[in-house]
């Protein structure tokens, strides 16, 4: 059975969830699970949980752990990537410096100054991982969970020979939300979703053959439901389609919601800082880091069991290993022109058929005119970031930040230039050497 390697396995909660997903399939329960992280203490905690799963459930799987990436990758069939490069300092810089200038990022890991600089500091390590894969397990499939998803996957498509797929849980989470809003069973919602990661759209959403959009618009009129997802309901109301990313996330991908506090107050009647505060992901990450560094495991190993979550990785691996056909929304190269009004070198999030023969992106055609501009804007930024990183081109990084929709709505060109220079200086130790 397959060897499945986790790079960045020190993130115990997420890694343990994915290990449990894999082991929940009887056909995969004798896999070799190779856990790798540069943080030996965090890695040990994840390994203990994974070993407890195997022991408690009486499974045949083998759990290995190592701080040596080459050892973990040697002979791997699948590589799950969930690394975080640089730790707290650059993350804080990516949020605090833009905030000082007036760019209010809620998450800052996908696009905007935060996403761009997170991508820049992660790309060199991704290329190192790719080099190891090409040498030690050239036929392995890389399943990337690390953000910024589109920037990193596009880099891998362009600069490596590693077969790469990007995985994100925003689509199943949105399915759960929509089903709740219109009061239907989640499993009965049929959908067709496409765009780019975090900026994709429910182009179709049906229940028993009928569109649920009329019911979703009715649900929007309920103040209690509306206030649970203000930005996404507003985007649907004005542009016709429900987006895949949470309101908190979506608010920083477009120029409408995060430049004036009164806009949010008028729209929701809720205090701006409470509804969509700045830096919530950073602060939550810091809290989780403190808990992770606690010497006590804080997990009852006797109670650890195998459960299957909504994450796609285990289903994808199971489909390939058992030739079971599934349709999953994944991040892939647009080389097949799955979305015909986005560039063929973009990373797109589309329905993909997965079976024993591999991955087969579905043809979506054109995105509707009312929403196509949003991913097109971000794809242009992604292109500049990837070129800037691969060619060590400082000017392309400046141009990427200047074309970000939220940044452009908040600052002048000169202010953006000054902010970018400050970010480059503050994060110099974590970035590729730019000319």
Catalytic positions are: 169
Strands 210-211 and 199-207 come out as antiparallel
CA dihedral 277, 279, 281, 284 (to 10 degrees): -90
Element (H, E) at 76: none
Could you tell me which residues come within 8 angstroms of residue 410 by beta carbon, excluding any fewer than 6 positions away? 101, 102, 103, 104, 258, 259
The half-sphere exposure of 124 on its side-chain side, counting CA atoms within 13 A, is: 13
Contact (CB, 8 A) for 34 and 72: yes
- State the Cα angle at 97 between 92 and 103, rounded to 5°: 110
144: three-class secondary structure by DSSP: strand
Cα–Cα distance measured from residue 166 to residue 249, given in angstroms and rounded to the nearest whole number:
18
Q: Which two tokens stand for residue 134?
A: 């090409």
Contact (CB, 8 A) for 306 and 20: yes
Element (H, E) at 339: none
Could you tell me which residues come within 8 angstroms of residue 108 by beta carbon, excluding any fewer than 6 positions away? 94, 95, 98, 114, 115, 118, 252, 279, 281, 282
């Amino acid at each position: 059975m397959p060897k499945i390697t986790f790079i960045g396995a020190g993130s115990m909660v997420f890694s343990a969830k994915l290990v449990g997903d894999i082991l929940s399939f009887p056909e995969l329960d004798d896999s070799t699970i190779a856990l790798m992280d540069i943080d030996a203490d965090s890695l040990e905690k994840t390994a203990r949980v994974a070993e407890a799963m195997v022991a408690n459930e009486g499974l045949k799987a083998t759990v290995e752990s190592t701080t040596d990436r080459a050892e973990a990758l040697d002979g791997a069939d699948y590589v799950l990537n969930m690394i975080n490069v640089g730790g707290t300092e650059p993350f804080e810089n990516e949020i605090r410096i833009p905030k000082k200038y007036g760019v209010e990022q809620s998450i800052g890991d996908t696009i905007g100054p935060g996403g761009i600089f997170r991508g820049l500091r992660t790309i060199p390590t991704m290329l190192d991982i790719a080099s190891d894969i090409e040498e030690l397990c050239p036929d392995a499939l890389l399943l990337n969970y690390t953000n910024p998803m589109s920037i990193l996957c596009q880099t891998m498509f362009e600069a490596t020979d590693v077969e790469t797929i990007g995985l994100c849980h925003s689509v199943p989470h949105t399915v759960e939300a929509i089903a709740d809003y219109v009061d239907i069973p989640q499993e009965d919602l049929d959908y067709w979703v496409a765009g780019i990661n975090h900026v994709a759209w429910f182009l179709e959403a049906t229940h028993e053959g009928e569109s649920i959009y009329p019911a979703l618009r009715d649900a929007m009129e309920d103040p209690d439901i509306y206030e649970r997802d203000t930005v996404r309901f507003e985007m649907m109301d004005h542009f016709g389609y429900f987006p895949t990313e949470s309101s908190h996330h979506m608010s920083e991908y477009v120029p409408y919601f995060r430049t004036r506090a009164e806009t949010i107050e008028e729209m929701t009647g809720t205090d701006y800082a409470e509804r969509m505060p700045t830096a919530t992901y950073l602060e939550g990450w810091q809290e989780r880091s403190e808990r992770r560094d606690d010497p006590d495991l804080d997990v009852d190993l006797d109670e650890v069991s195998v459960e299957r979550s909504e994450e796609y990785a285990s289903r994808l691996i199971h489909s390939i290993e058992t030739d079971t056909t599934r349709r999953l929304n994944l991040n892939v190269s647009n080389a097949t022109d799955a979305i015909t009004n986005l560039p063929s070198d973009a990373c797109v999030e589309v329905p993909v058929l997965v079976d024993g023969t591999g991955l087969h992106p579905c043809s979506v055609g054109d995105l509707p005119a009312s929403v196509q501009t949003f991913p097109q804007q971000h794809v242009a930024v992604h292109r500049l970031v990837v070129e800037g990183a691969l060619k060590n081109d400082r000017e392309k990084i400046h141009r990427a930040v200047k074309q970000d929709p939220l940044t452009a709505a908040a600052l002048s060109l000169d202010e953006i230039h000054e902010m970018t220079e400050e970010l480059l200086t503050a994060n110099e130790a974590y970035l590729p050497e730019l000319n």
